[in-house]
Amino acid sequence: MAIRNLRYDGDEILTKKTKKIEVIDEKIKELAQDMLDTMYANDGIGLAACQVGMLKSMIVYDVDYVEENKEKNPVVCINPKIVSRSRSMVEVEEGCLSFPNVFENVIRHEKITVEYTDLNGKKKTKHAKGMEAIVIQHECDHLDGIVFLDRVEK
Ligand code: NI
């Protein structure tokens, strides 16, 4: 277990596109665990690899832990791709571990379908709504070098 240093607003890595993960080796598994450790240690509900300085296409999240104070339910998505989006939109206040103390309303799709590979190399398809759909959209944006403030209505 290791908590990695977060990258903050102004760090150019947050504006870069991440690279697809081709092989799920021990380094990737360690990165996934470290990202979860870092997320929980900072009371976050989601984290993208670029936020700990790695330009790799991986996100982690756990929407249950903070929201309902249940046991941990971590999700690791490798090479996630949002393949469908509902027409209906929702506006929710978001924050980001790379932007401490900044909260802004962002309009997102209410429901999404995401395809990804899990840590065991299995292809998964997830239909998400509510907070889970919002977190996935926020974290997948990071993988394209987009941060939530880029989505705020000007
Ligand atoms: Ni973020």
Which two three-digit tokens encode residue 24? 């799920």
What does pTM read for this prediction? Answer: 0.95
For residue 101, is it within any domain? yes
Q: Which 8-state DSSP code applies to residue 121?
A: S
CATH number at residue 125: 3.90.45.10
Ligand 1 centroid to residue 7 C-alpha, Å: 10
Task: Say which of 68, 110, 132, 139 is annotated catalytic.
Answer: 139
Q: Is 139 a catalytic residue?
A: yes
Ligand 1 centroid to residue 96 C-alpha, Å: 4
- Count, residues in the chain: 154
Residues with CB under 5 A from ligand 1 (ion): 96
For residue 3, is it within any domain? no
For residue 145, is it within any domain? yes
Distance CA 85, CA 33 (A): 29
Host domain of residue 54: 12-151
The domain tally of the chain equals: 1
For residue 6, is it within any domain? no
For residue 7, is it within any domain? no
For residue 107, is it within any domain? yes
> What share of the chain has pLDDT > 70, as a percent?
96
Contact at 8 Å (CB) between 54 and 143? no
Give the model's pLDDT for residue 153: 74
- For 68-120, the pLDDT digits (tens) are 566 889 999 999 999 999 999 999 999 999 999 999 999 999 999 999 999 99
Give the model's pLDDT for residue 72: 87
